[in-house]
Amino acid sequence: MTADTQDLVHYDAVVIGAGFAGIYMLYKLRRLGLSAKVYETGDDVGGTWYWNRYPGARCDVESLEYCYSFDPELAQEWEWTERYPAQPEILRYAQHVAERYDLYQDIQFNTKVTRAAFDDRTGRWLVSSAAAIDHIDHNHAPAGATTDLVAADYLICAVGCLSSSNVPDISGIDTFAGEVCHTGRYPKEGIDFAGKRVGVIGTGSSGIQAIPVIAETAEHLTVFQRTPQYAIPARNHPLDPKEQAQVKAEYRRLREKNKAQQGALGARFDWNEGSVLDVEATEAFKEFDARWEIGGFAFLGAYGDIARNPEANHVAADFVKAKIRETVTDPEVAERLIPTTYIGCKRLVLDTDYFATYNRDNVALVDISENTIAEITSRGLCTADGTEHDLDVIVFATGYDAMTGSLLRIDVCGRGGLSLAEQWHAGPRTYLGLSVPGFPNMFTITGPGSPSVLANMIVCIEQHVDWIGDCISYMRAKGHRHIEASEEAAEAWVDHVNLVASYTLYPTCNSWYLGANIPGKTRVFMPLPGFPPYAEKCDQVAAAGYEGFQLISS
Ligand code: NAP
């Protein structure tokens, strides 16, 4: 970057992304009296909940827990309508927050940050952005030329863990005559599936939510499944105002209790510590049945060792397999839907009528685990055995280049021109998931190495934003100009994350937690299991004068 940086507009902080992390960060920076600018690719706030407009899109964390807690008045005034919030309601909530705290004025929409480089000469970040160009695969950089270049003391990346959509590189994709979309980049105007032959590729959380809804209107739906998934009924329902009032009467206590849970959620359910192996199978099945009726992640709380012990995991998995066989009337289809991995090793999916959907006459299941998709033609999709599936619409529910994709698609360069891609060539290396060695004054909200996607994202976001805010206040009070994680601290932190993960069954399957869904991506377990010890560690680091960081005053 050769611009004369003296002439540039300068902000105390630039924030990338106006999802839940970005808008709370902006609120926090304002409260600290700092000037800030937020850049956002979409044309409104909401982040992942702006883009994920696919049919059936709904959060798998309960509404009363999937919201901010920083302002008790906000928490009391917003009324949720359902147990699990649907995408439009979450988007309205994000818009409400942005309006309530007058945040819109500092957010520049339809703008994509293309490059952020630390200028060794001035000690500031130089941030380039361009007009965003909508495209199904937003991993690709936009074609627009740089339109804006600003300088900032702090660069705060609030880019989201699941925002860089993964569209597989299938030959012929551009020749398809029908409509193509990705669930994470779903068209605002929606898609009318009536009278159409639809193909859905992918059976993760997004596919499993979309499939039953699409099946209701499509003439025919073909599901292309590479790996079967465990799904537990969500048991969504309208929220009883009395129940909501009761929860809100003790809201602060509930939110605090949640923070003491491993996943920072579900404090209203019992999370048993006992082993499923200490009880008779009939008793265990009775407990699982009760939790199956409650719905949601309460299922995983039945016993403490499901996520850790293979034998214990089998008992829980067998229960769900029995439910699939009970629900799906065609035994051959049921067997194709039975997962072979550990339950919970890929993110457990909450569903509404997913397995029952395969009993419909207009739904077919195609196993592409071995008979892979060979090509897409103008008429549809062709599998390796030569079978042609004629389609009018193809929905990619193929997930994300998770946790690192959104950051790496920006050209981020730290001290001495070190690129983030180089720094992370062997997998993401952060200290606390908040900071990267070589990248002074850059913070990553819910970055790799923090609990993030293994916990309630909103709780994780608030904890990170509060920590970053406190850190900046500390630096200003002490006259420190730069903060940077040390190489040793990041090294030790990566080892710690891997060690904690190795006590669980998470690393045993090809999940996006490991980057295994993206061809060529280095396989490293990225999120850290366990919110409470993590938050405690962050507090300890701060209390010890930001141990593991170098603080520089000039
Ligand atoms: P995902 O869990 O990564 O699932 C992607 C699906 O596409 C998998 O079935 C995957 O198969 C398949 N796939 C990927 N590449 C493929 C290829 N080249 N050919 C064929 N199939 C391919 O993605 P997601 O469903 O979008 O969910 C991602 C995460 O977002 C979730 O785990 C969850 O954390 C979050 N999410 C949450 C909600 C909610 O709150 N309810 C809703 C949606 C998403 P393999 O399994 O074989 O890789």
What is the atom index within ligand 1 of the atom nearest the CA of 168?
Answer: 18
Of all protein residues, the one whose alpha carbon is nearest to atom 6 of ligand 1 is 202
CA of 166 to the centre of ligand 1 (A): 9
pLDDT tens-digit readout, 327-375: 999 999 999 999 999 999 999 999 999 999 999 999 999 999 999 999 9
CA of 274 to the centre of ligand 1 (A): 31
What is the atom index within ligand 1 of the atom nearest the CA of 226?
Answer: 47
Residue 325 structure tokens:
């066989």
What is the atom index within ligand 1 of the atom nearest the CA of 368?
Answer: 20
* Residue of 54, 166, 205, 508 best suited for mutating to test ligand 1, as the one with most atoms within 8 Å of CB: 205
pLDDT for 317: 97
* Residue of 51, 453, 517 best suited for mutating to test ligand 1, as the one with most atoms within 8 Å of CB: 517
Alpha-carbon gap, residue 429 to 35, rounded angstroms: 29
First to last CA, the chain: 22
pLDDT tens-digit readout, 157-203: 999 999 999 999 999 999 999 999 999 999 999 999 999 999 999 99
String of DSSP letters for 408-439: HTSEEE-GGG-BHHHHTTTS---BTTTB-TT-
CA of 511 to the centre of ligand 1 (A): 9
CA of 267 to the centre of ligand 1 (A): 27
pLDDT for 1: 46
* Residue of 20, 203, 226 best suited for mutating to test ligand 1, as the one with most atoms within 8 Å of CB: 226
* Cβ < 6 A, ligand 1 pocket: 58-60, 162, 168, 183, 201-207, 209, 226-227, 347, 368, 397-400, 453, 512, 517
Contact indicator for 344, 313 with CB cutoff of 8 Å: yes
Task: Name the pairing type of β-strands 380-383 and 36-39.
Answer: unpaired
State the average pLDDT over residues 379-384. Answer: 98
- 448: DSSP letter: B
CA of 54 to the centre of ligand 1 (A): 13
Of all protein residues, the one whose alpha carbon is nearest to atom 16 of ligand 1 is 398
pLDDT for 4: 64
Unique residue bearing structure tokens 């009775």: 286
Q: pLDDT at residue 438 above 50?
A: yes
CA of 27 to the centre of ligand 1 (A): 32
Q: What is the 3-state secondary structure (H, E, C) of 304-348?
A: CCCCCCHHHHHHHHHHHHHHHHHHCCCHHHHHHCCCCCCCCCCCC
State the average pLDDT over residues 457-462. Answer: 98
Q: How large a percentage of the chain has pLDDT more than 90?
A: 94
Of all protein residues, the one whose alpha carbon is nearest to atom 28 of ligand 1 is 399
What is the atom index within ligand 1 of the atom nearest the CA of 517?
Answer: 48
Q: pLDDT at residue 267 above 90?
A: no
Element spanning 15, H or E: strand 9-16
State the average pLDDT over residues 483-493. Answer: 98
> What angle separates helix 457-478 from helix 20-31, to the nearest 10 degrees?
30
Contact indicator for 272, 297 with CB cutoff of 8 Å: no
pLDDT tens-digit readout, 110-161: 999 999 999 999 999 999 999 987 544 444 444 455 679 999 999 999 999 9
pLDDT for 6: 73
Q: Which residues have C-beta within 8 Å of that of residue 215, sequence separation ≥ 6?
A: 221, 357, 360, 362, 363
CA of 427 to the centre of ligand 1 (A): 21
Query: Could you tell me which of 167, 227, 208 has the C-alpha nearest to residue 60?
Result: 208
pLDDT tens-digit readout, 504-541: 999 999 999 999 999 999 999 999 999 999 999 999 99
Alpha-carbon gap, residue 107 to 30, rounded angstroms: 13
What is the atom index within ligand 1 of the atom nearest the CA of 61?
Answer: 40
Query: Could you tell me which of 470, 469, 475, 428 has the C-alpha nearest to residue 452?
Result: 428
State the average pLDDT over residues 276-297. Answer: 96
For the stretch 40-66, what's the b/e string if a residue is b when 16 or more beta carbons lie within 10 angstroms of its beta carbon?
bbbebbbbbbbbbbbbbbbbbbbbbbb
Q: How large a percentage of the chain has pLDDT more than 70?
A: 97
Of all protein residues, the one whose alpha carbon is nearest to atom 13 of ligand 1 is 398
Dihedrals φ, ψ of 423, to 5°?
-60, -30
